[in-house]
């Protein structure tokens, strides 16, 4: 409101000065304006410009066209159950599991694929679900920690974690267990790692192999040795 009044006042003074100038031209044949009028007009104009910028009275830019969020359907199998969902196309698999299916065992840690807390098994292979869009998994089979075992029927890896105290706060444990289960399958299948001495030969479970393959699963409590002991027991390695 103040800015508008100042602008109107500046316009009025400008018009008055122009009328006087023309009047003097008619009388004297030459243009004329007093020093006082010039200074007053300049001051008002500068003030109006400053207030306009501060108060935001300048013409607002046109509002951008809001594009509606696209949604799409996807169907996959989670822990042995068929699931059909309609979702925002930007939704990650992690958010679908936690927010849509309420399978909160899978944890959101860094949300950048660096901590491994969100590890799940997709078609038998471990992935970071925070980096994968749900729509990429049409017709896939997904196993979360809830599908690995239950309190009444624990998976051998879960039992070994309890026995060897492979957790402390427990936040990373679901991802650690899912990843450890997949690691043993990778070794059985002969999938090499960066520390494998033979790329084409059969793989064996060693402490170095396990630690290398589990390096993407971070435990801030530092239970790595206990986790390795638990996995070694499941793998049938003693000593």
Two structure tokens written together for 176:
């650690």
Instruction: Please give the residue range of the domain that contains residue 97.
Output: 71-147
The answer to whether position 63 is within a domain reads no
| pLDDT tens digits, one per residue of 183-208 | 999 999 999 999 998 888 788 999 99
Measured between its terminal Cα atoms, the distance across the chain in Å is: 83
**Residue among 98, 135, 102, 100 at smallest CA distance from 117:** 98
The answer to whether position 136 is within a domain reads yes
For the full predicted model, state whether its pTM sits above 0.75. no
Two structure tokens written together for 69:
């969020």
Q: How many domains, in total, are found in the chain?
A: 3
Given a cut of 80, whether residue 7 has pLDDT beyond it is: no
Domain stops at, among 125, 147, 169? 147
C-beta atoms surrounding 214 within 10 Å: 20
Say what the pLDDT of residue 6 is. 47
The answer to whether position 64 is within a domain reads no
The answer to whether position 32 is within a domain reads yes
Say what the pLDDT of residue 17 is. 55
Lowest mean pLDDT among 36-45, 161-170, 197-206: 36-45
Say what the pLDDT of residue 201 is. 79
Percent of the chain with pLDDT over 70: 74
CB 135 within 8 A of CB 192: no
Q: How confident is the model at residue 50 (pLDDT cuts 50, 70, 90)?
A: low
Which positions ≥6 away from 130 have C-beta within 8 Å?
92, 93, 94, 108, 110, 111, 112, 113, 118
Domain stops at, among 81, 116, 147? 147
Q: What is the CATH number for 81?
A: 3.10.20.30
Q: What is the CATH number for 218?
A: 1.10.150.120
Say what the pLDDT of residue 67 is. 75
The answer to whether position 66 is within a domain reads no
Say what the pLDDT of residue 95 is. 98
| pLDDT greater at residue 238 or residue 143 | 143
| pLDDT tens digits, one per residue of 59-68 | 556 677 877 7
Given a cut of 50, whether residue 212 has pLDDT beyond it is: yes
CA distance 23 to 18: 9
Q: How confident is the model at residue 16 (pLDDT cuts 50, 70, 90)?
A: low
């Amino acid at each position: 409101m103040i800015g508008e009044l100042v602008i109107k006042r500046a316009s009025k003074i400008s018009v008055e000065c122009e009328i006087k100038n023309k009047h003097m031209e008619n009388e004297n044949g030459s243009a004329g304006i007093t020093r006082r009028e010039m200074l007053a007009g300049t001051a008002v104009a500068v003030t109006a410009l400053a207030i306009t910028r501060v108060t935001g009275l300048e013409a607002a830019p046109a509002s951008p066209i809001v594009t509606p969020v696209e949604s799409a359907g996807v169907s996959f199998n989670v822990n042995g159950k068929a699931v059909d969902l309609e979702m925002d196309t930007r939704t990650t698999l992690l958010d679908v599991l936690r927010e849509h299916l309420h399978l909160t065992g899978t944890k959101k840690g860094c949300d950048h694929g660096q901590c491994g807390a969100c590890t799940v098994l997709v078609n038998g292979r471990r992935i970071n679900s925070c980096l994968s869009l749900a729509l990429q998994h049409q017709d896939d089979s997904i196993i979360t920690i809830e599908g690995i075992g239950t309190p009444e029927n624990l998976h051998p890896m879960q039992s070994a974690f309890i026995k060897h105290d492979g957790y402390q706060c427990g936040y990373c444990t679901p991802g650690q267990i899912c990843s450890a289960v997949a690691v043993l399958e990778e070794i059985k299948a002969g999938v090499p790692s960066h520390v494998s001495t033979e790329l084409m030969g059969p793989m064996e479970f060693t402490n170095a192999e396990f630690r290398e393959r589990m390096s993407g699963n971070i435990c801030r409590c530092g239970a790595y040795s206990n986790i390795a002991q638990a996995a070694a027991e499941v793998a049938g390695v003693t000593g």
